[in-house]
Structure formats: structure tokens, C-alpha cells
Chain A
């Protein structure tokens, strides 16, 4: 049955419908419904991929293997949560006057476009179209970041679009070079297909120097979009200035989609060169990101910026896990992707609630004792924060442990110690910042506007999912992850 095309078409159709529809309520329900549908399709895709290894459609234009299926699940889940949250969030904002109805409509039209772009990235076979899809996600998210039209939002959006476009231009260079590496093999007039599956098949014949050069460009280019240090400077700004549902999607899944694109090239490069060239680079950037993030988390004064740096940390860990290149660490990295995607949005939702109640993001002003004002929010936030810091029994603890143990087992003791240090630093940072604001008694007594039970469904869904999957991963999912790990690490 046709699976991949509907996954793409549903968000596109939703965007179109939201453009035509006037009612806020309808838009607010249309979006989550669409993503619930893609989630269902994603689960179906999971089974298909387990059965058939690879699902292709449209004459190999669309290509889904285990890695793609995993990403589809992540994108659907995070988008579902975000759009569920967004309805109530924007209703409050409209009432408070921070946004106009036109902007809310913009949100509900651009978000499914954003998601459709991400789906295209993970499902398409052609490397050039993959680039195009990433650029599409970048462009749709820029206007989302600038939604509030404040001076700081515009500044963040400008940095985001400039650095993002620059990064994507570099990635395009890398893409072109990759293609150029393949053209020696063919006679005049015959263009080789730019499909990733085709390139993997002829990897042995590609020009090695060109592939090396191409990978460097792709790493810096897509790395910028993934928020790897030192190209991460747009990340704290964009993720903190965007409206909370968008921040959740940006942090929760768009960074990972950029990593996915990077991974496709990493797999190709490793297949072509047969050496540790690409994974060493990935390892280096990953470690650097982790170490850069930790001090910034500790000294941060803005809640959402702190969350953005925490995302940087986690992305660093994922890249490090892949860079270590043992089946265990890669599995841990993929698992980490999933758990982080479930956790970070909840934190952003809670931050959004806090922002709408306290009208500020500065930790000093929010002050201690949020628990008295927004008890339910704080409950979810506390759980998610514990998860993000890496405490058991949450899944993030297990995935981090997996990566660490894999590192020690492979004899990379020094690197594993580095990872451990960075993780501990981040752990301290998050806990310190959040214990500053969450417990205690508030200095200023605020009126409890009926926002206590706000957005429980959205947060509850994700936290619930996190708890459930921390304890038990269904077998098909495990198999999928193992398959995906194999794809990245090559057949052992």
C-alpha cells in the first residue's frame, strides 16, 4: 500500500486547508489530527520496514529504511505534541494581545509546511532534493521564529536565516562535490542518478579526494543547521525567541533531521573511504558541542536559552555516540534521539506556560516558588527536567549510559571520561537553574489566573510516552533501532 506519499501529502494538505479556513478552533484541531494520522502511518511504516527492509515509492524517488522510519515517528510525535499545545497557547496570547489573528493563522499554516519539509528530508532518496527540503524547513521556520515581531525576535530570525542559509550554501557545495565525485564513471551525456541508494551501490568507484572535500563542506553546512558548535550561535537566539510550540519543534526534532542528513553523507563517506575519516570529525564536533554547552547552561539567566543550550548538549552527545562507531554507542545515540524528542518539548511547553503567566523569561524575575503558582506545570516540568538532566528512571539515563558503556567497552576510555564530565556538568547546570525557580515560596504573590490545568493533554501525552517508553520499549521498535544502527555503523 502507498505509505510514503500520504505522509508527505497530509501536512501539505493541512497547510492549504488552514490557509482557507477562518476559525481558530478548526485550525487548532486540524493540525494535531493531521499529525496523529502521520503517526499512525509511521507506525505502519515501521512494520513494513521490519518486514521488507526498505520501502521505496515513486520509482525510487522516495526511500525509507529503518533510519527514515525512526525519524518519521519522531517528527510525528513532536509535531503532534506541539500542535496540541499550540491551540490553547495562542488563545491565551490572543487574549493578552501579544499576537494578532493573522499571525496565529501564519503559525498554523507554516507549521505543517515545516513538518512536511522535515518528512521530505527523511523520506527522499535524491540527495539534492534532500538539500532542497532542508532549505524549505529553514525558510518556513524563519518566519515562525519572527512571529512575535519584537526587536529580539527579528534579531534572532535574522541570525537564524543568515547562518542557516550560509550553512546550507556550504552543504550545497558539499552536495555538488559529492555528485561530481561520481561523474568520472559515466560517458558523455549520461547523468548518474543522484539517489543515495545508487551512490551507496557505486561507493567504491567514487573519487575519494572529492568525497573527502565534500564531507567537510557537508559537515560544516548541515552541522550549522544541526547546531553543532562552533556553528551554533544562532541556536540559543532562535530557540528562545520563537513561540514555545515552535521552539519545541525546533529543539525537539528539526536539529535531529539535520543530523539525519549529515548521517546519510557520513554513511556514504565511510562506505567510500573505508576509514574513520568522517566519524572522527563527527566525534570531534560532538565533543566540542558538549563542552561548549555545559558552562553556558550554568551561567544562563534566561529560561528558554538554557533549554536551548541543553539541546546543544544532547545533540553533541548524539554525534559523539555516532562518532564512537560501535553498535552499542550508535544504538544508544538513536535511542537518545527518541527520548530527547519526548522530553525537550515538555520543557518548552512548561516554559511557555511560565512565560504567559509571569510575562518574562528571566530566571531572576520568575523567582523561586513557581510550584505554588502553577503546580501541574511544575510537576511535568520537574519530571522532564529530571529526565533531561539524565536521572534514572528516565530513558535519557539509559541512553547516556549505553553510549558511555559502549565507549568504555571499545577502549575509548579518555573520550568516555570526557563525555561523562560534560554530562555531569550539564546535570549540575540544569538542576541548579531549575531549583532556583521551581521550589520554595514566591517572593511576590501572584493571582492564579485559571491556567493551572492548561495544556495538560499535550504535556501529559509526551511525559506519559516518556515514562512508558523508559520502562518498556516494544519489540518492533527495538528491532527498528537495531536495524537503523546497523545502517549507520555498517554491517558488523
Chain B
């Protein structure tokens, strides 16, 4: 019995697949890691992977506008956003997550299951012979595990991080799935959106902290019905 993996032998797709898988592994680490500052660093690392993927795609397919995407991701998600989030965390002076809803082993198993689900959803699309067949699975897996992260965590900053990892998943899909990237105007729009969104979220988080003296979002439960 001979089972051959149809691994493309070109170096570009290989590197892209590798880094995409690393993004997923980092996402899993985010799920179990409890120190907020480390989580921010993990997110920065994940965005760095995304930058490398974008750069490789730009180089391999001669799609020069994707270089701009890579640079923007580097400046925005690897440098600026982590700095901003760090500032918020330090201002609020809460550095560790409280016990999440599910403990670490259970979380890991659920994330494994969600990854499997992502792969299953992406299966019918693997016949599209492009760079993107496996990154679609990983993008959906990032989305699902990001959801889980949002539900499992109670601190507001962790939920913001979860949202940002979902955005990373979308960017992965946008850059890798669509082979030559999306039109520049769209990428720019998405980029600036994410920046502004995090700033708005930062303002809100600060106001919540001032008002509730805590970032525990389970305390935000007055409005019901």
C-alpha cells in the first residue's frame, strides 16, 4: 500500500504551507497560554508568519502589490498593534487571565477537533490546484479556534486578541487563497480598518476598566432579556 502525499515540490508553496501551519500552532498556544503579555507576543509572532507568507507569495508569483501588504502587516500587526495592546495592558495593570471556562487539556482537544472541522469544510476545494488549497483549511481553522478563544476567555483584552487572530485568518485567506492577493484598495481598507478598530476597542476597554474596576467581561451581565 502506497500512500503518497501530493506535496508540491516547488519551494514557494512549501514555505507558505509551513508558515501557515506554524500560524495554527501559535493559535493553539494562544488558547492555553494565560499570561496576557505573552499572548500579545504570540499574536505578534503569528502576524510575522503572515508577513513572511505574503512576502513569499509576492516573490513567487511576481505580484508586487502583495509586497505592500507584507510591509503593512509588518508595521501594523507586528509592531504597532502589539505595542498598543501592551500599553493598554500596562495602563490597566492586569497581566494575567483568570481561569478560563475550560481547562487547558480540554481546550486543546476542542481546538484539535475544530481544526479537523476546518479541514473537512475545506476538503471539497482541494481540487483547485493553487497555492491556496491547504491554507483555506488553516484559515477556517484559525477562524474556528478564534471563536473558541473568544468564548473561553473572560478578560476583555483576550477577546480583542481573539478577534485579531480571526482577522489574521482572513488575511491568510485573502493573501494565499486568492493566489495573487486581492486588489490593493481592498487590502488597504482592511488594514486601516483593523487599526482603527483596535484603537476604538482600546478606548472602550479603558472606559470599562474605569467604570467596572475590572476587565472581567462576565461582569458585563446587567442587560438581559
Contact = CB atoms under 8 A, between A and B. Distances in A.
Direct contact of A and B (CB under 8 A): yes
Interface stretch (A19-27, A185-193, A376-384): A185-193
Interface string B185-206: 1100110110011001101100
Interface residues of A, number: 53
Contact of B225 (A157, A161, A305): A305
Contacts of A157: 204
B223 A241 contact: yes
Contacts of A161: 200-201, 204
Interface in A105-162: 126, 128-129, 131-132, 135-136, 139, 142-143, 146, 149-152, 154-159, 161-162
B125 interface: yes
Interface stretch (A169-177, A385-393, A451-459, A462-470): A169-177
B11 interface: no
B222 A151 contact: yes
B156 A158 contact: yes
A382 to B, nearest CB: 25
A183 B179 CA distance: 8
B35 to A, nearest CB: 22
A165 B150 contact: no
A152 B222 contact: yes
Contact of B166 (A143, A152, A155, A166): A166
A154 B170 contact: no
A358 interface: no
Contact of A194 (B124, B179, B183, B208): B183
A209 B163 CA distance: 27
Contacts of A132: 186, 189-190, 192-193
A146 B211 CA distance: 12
Say what secondary structure dominates the interface of chain A: helix
A8 to B, nearest CB: 15
A184 interface: yes
Contact of B124 (A165, A177, A179, A209): A209
A401 interface: no
A172 B225 contact: no
Interface pairs A-B: 10 shortest CB-CB: A128-B186, A132-B189, A155-B220, A237-B223, A176-B174, A169-B166, A135-B193, A180-B178, A172-B170, A176-B173
Given A179-B174, A180-B177, 16 more contacts: A128-B182, A128-B185, A128-B189, A128-B190, A149-B207, A151-B211, A154-B220, A155-B223, A159-B220, A172-B167, A173-B169, A179-B182, A213-B125, A236-B225, A240-B223, A241-B223
Interface of A: 126, 128-129, 131-132, 135-136, 139, 142-143, 146, 149-152, 154-159, 161-162, 165-166, 169-170, 172-173, 176-177, 179-180, 183-184, 188-189, 191, 193-194, 207, 209-210, 213, 236-237, 240-241, 296, 299-301, 305
21 contacts: A126-B185, A128-B183, A131-B186, A132-B193, A136-B193, A142-B200, A152-B223, A155-B222, A158-B204, A159-B220, A162-B163, A166-B147, A166-B166, A172-B170, A177-B177, A180-B173, A183-B180, A188-B62, A240-B223, A296-B225, A300-B225
